Structure 1
Amino acid sequence: MTEPTAAAELTDRLWQAVVDGDEHGAADIVHEAVADGVTEETLLLEVIAPVQARVGSEWAADRITVAQEHAATAINERVIASLAHRRPARERRLPHRGRVTVSCIDGEWHAFPARLVAEVLHLRGWRVDYLGAQTPTPHLVAHLHHTGPDAVLLSGSIPTHLPAAHAAVTACQALGVRVLVGGRAFGADGRYARALGADQWAADARGAAEVLASGLPRSRPAAIRQVADDLPHLADQEYTTVVRSRPALVRQTLAGLTTRFPAVRGYDDAQRERTAEDLTHIVDFLATALYVDDPELFTSFLTWTADILEARHVPARSVVATLDVLAGQLREFPRTVGLIKAGGAALRGRPTVPSPTSAPAHD
């Protein structure tokens, strides 16, 4: 069986095992594939990774529950570990091409992409220190002091962690360690990687391996930089104001919504808490868009949110109302108001989806 044919068939089989919660069946599928001659890199990137991507899309479409999504992710992670543990001893002692650190940025708990990168680099002969999810920058820096790697690879999936990523990039470069970043947080074209001063960006695990193999260029001398050196627009203090005002903004916006959506007045404590969490996400993405000065970051989040809500029969217009209330509180900040107006325009341009509900999201 050729690898392309194997990948297509195996993906379907693995998806079914994962969604059924059959961990042993999932492991058997990939182990048998290895025995049949399918390479481990193919399994990682062309079978397991697409299955994990489908887990996310099925959750977004409300076809699997949060619990199923977590269980499926856990199974995929253990399948990856089982592959690594079954490698012959001779493969575990491959000549090392160098030493690298692979880590998620501080606050980032989506570790799956970073794990794929770590495994692919190991297969290609690198010594890999994999630090996993949510590595605080001071602990990352301490690890680099101790190990002296050739490069550090930072992974981020959620754009709201870009300010933390910026701090990590700057701290690593100040040690003279080159930084390669990747993940959805940095934009499909790596635009935020460039804005934050990373030495290089890669779209996926194979891209990261190719960058390392060709030699990671350094875009600037290692030095301690200030945030404004990379992002001079932050001098207007709008980002700082929004971040510091977040609790009050969420509280006041929630209060304002009770006027537009009377049903909110009848929410119990749990519903109000979930609605406040939704509002917090909106404010966080607004702040991050201010940080990188990119309206698309905010509008992309809002349209994604609208898709999620409508899949759960909540109208996107509830988000438009939220933006209107938020804009009223931030009317003295031109860059912020501009972002909110762009977000509202993107949502108003969406096709209307009928829904039995008239209240904002609270799930």
Structure 2
Amino acid sequence: MTIDAKKFAGYLLNGDELSCEEYLESLAYKENILKVLQLFTGAMQHVGELWENNEISVADEHLATATCDYVLSYYKFRYITRKIPIKHNKKAMFLCLENEQHYLGTKMIACVFESFGWNVRLFGANLPLEYARSQAEEWKPDIIGISVAILYHLPKLNLYIEELTATSSAPGILVGGRLSGLYDLMPYCTEQTTILKDIIEVSRWLEEQKVEENTDDKYKQHTNPILSNK
């Protein structure tokens, strides 16, 4: 746990949105999106540990979560939405399983995708499968990210994966959330599912996709006589 994360967690627990914003603006690495999101993650993990140790109440945890949500939206607008345009037609939608309320991690991952120029739709917490499926059919995403944080929700995961993969765009499925770093989730997934345990793995996966896209573009230019003659 870094000093920055503990200090930031203190502002979150006080519901002090202004101090959170000022602290973010004071950071030397404020434009390093990945590092800032790790700060958010570390701060909320610290809040979770305090709650598990009965050092704070449920109300304190809810206040910290609500404040974190607001400040994350502020940071996203300031450093991602306004500065990083959508670079291509790749689309990703993110959601939490039905009755899953822990959405902040999903929101952070969506921010990473946007920082790589993806077109993103974030559906947040508690999205029933029927609505997830209808949105996937309508919007036709390339990727669907699913978050699972509660152990007894795991049986739903396989159903979501199978039905969403079967939609018309045949999207790839990414699975993350608190459980992805604690348990082997592959028995609940398909072979085509990618499990990403944290923001670092998400960033690496996106970098790999970028390399593959660049390789494909070079191959097309080399083999397509129309493109190669330009």
State TM-score, norm by structure 2. Answer: 0.81
Distance 2:135 2:59 in 1: 34
Distance 1:75 1:180 in 2: 27
- Tell me the CA shift for residue 88 of structure 1: 7.0
Cα distance 1:37–1:62, how it changes in 2: closer, same or farther (>3 A)? Answer: closer
Query: Aligned AA for 2:175?
Result: V
Cα distance 1:89–1:102, how it changes in 2: closer, same or farther (>3 A)? Answer: closer
Residue in 2 aligned with 1:283?
none
Cα distance 1:205–1:194, how it changes in 2: closer, same or farther (>3 A)? Answer: farther
Residue in 2 aligned with 1:193?
186
Query: Aligned AA for 2:138?
Result: H
Residue in 1 aligned with 2:36?
43
Is 1:171–2:129 an aligned residue pair?
no
Over the matched positions of the two proteins, sequence identity in percent amounts to 22
- Tell me the CA shift for residue 169 of structure 1: 0.5
Kept in 2: contact 1:162–1:186 (CA 8 A)? no
Is 1:81–2:76 an aligned residue pair?
no
The structure whose Rg is larger is 1
Deviations 1:26-69 (A, max 9, x none): 121113326x6551321111x11101001111001000011001
Higher relative contact order, structure no. (Cα contacts within 8 Å, ≥ 6 residues apart): 2
Distance 1:150 1:73 in 2: 30
Unaligned 5+ runs, structure 2: 210-230
Is 1:70–2:62 an aligned residue pair?
yes
Q: Which of the numbers 95, 107, 129 marks the counterpart of 1:103?
A: 95
Distance 1:53 1:132 in 2: 19
Cα distance 1:139–1:10, how it changes in 2: closer, same or farther (>3 A)? Answer: same
Distance 2:63 2:125 in 1: 17
State TM-score, norm by structure 1. Answer: 0.53
Q: Runs of 4 or more off by more than 6 Å in structure 1? A: none
Aligned 1:345-356 pairs, distance under 5 A: none
Deviations 1:48-101 (A, max 9, x none): 110100111100100001100100111111110011122376624241361111
Distance 2:2 2:47 in 1: 16
Which protein is richer in helix relative to its size?
1
Residue in 1 aligned with 2:199?
205
Cα distance 1:119–1:90, how it changes in 2: closer, same or farther (>3 A)? Answer: closer
Deviations 1:175-197 (A, max 9, x none): 222211112334525x2234432
Distance 1:133 1:89 in 2: 22
Unaligned 5+ runs, structure 1: 1-6, 216-363
Is 1:91–2:113 an aligned residue pair?
no
- The alignment of Structure 1 onto Structure 2 pairs a total of residues equal to 206
Query: Aligned AA for 2:106?
Result: A
Distance 1:146 1:48 in 2: 33
Distance 1:13 1:211 in 2: 30
